[in-house]
Amino acid sequence: MGFKLDIAHNEAGGYLAYTVAGPWTLQNTYALIDSIKQETGRHGVTRVLVDMRATEGLPSDMDRYKWGVRAAEVLGGRVRVAVLGRSEQINRFGENTAVNRGADVNTLTDPDEALRWLTR
C-alpha cells in the first residue's frame, strides 16, 4: 500500500504543500520524490513543504541513505524541500546524504520554522 498524498498549491506562498500518511517504505518514498518532480514542473514552482508526521514506521539508516541519493538524483538543487517530521523520525542521515549530493533539503519538527526556511 502506498502513501496517501494530499497536494495543495499555495499560490500566495509560491510552494506546494504535501500532507503524507501511511506506511513508510522505500518504494513509497521514491514515489513521493517522483511526484514532487512531476508536480513542481506542472505548477511551475521550486519550493515544496512535505508533512511526513502522519507516516507510520521508521526507515533504516540504509533506506535513509537511499532516499537521500534518490532525492539528489531526481530533484538536485532545482527544488527546495522542507520536510516536517516528528522528532523520533529525524536523524538527519537522509537529509545529509541528499545535501552532500547537491539537493536543497531540510528536515524540521516545527511547521513555522519549516515555512520560514522554505520561503527565505
The total number of structural domains that make up the chain: 1
> 18: pLDDT confidence band, cut at 50, 70 and 90?
very high
Q: Where are the alpha helices (DSSP H) in 60-110?
A: 61-75, 93-100
- Decide: residue 12, CB within 10 A, 0-12 exposed, 13-18 middle, 19+ buried: exposed
d(CA 115, CA 118): 5
Write out the residue range of the structural domain in which residue 17 sits. 4-119
**Structure confidence by residue, pLDDT tens digits, 20-43:** 999 899 999 999 999 999 999 999
1: pLDDT strictly greater than 70:
no
Which pTM value belongs to this model?
0.93
CATH number, domain of 64, equals 3.30.750.24
d(CA 89, CA 79): 22
Identify the pLDDT of residue 75: 97
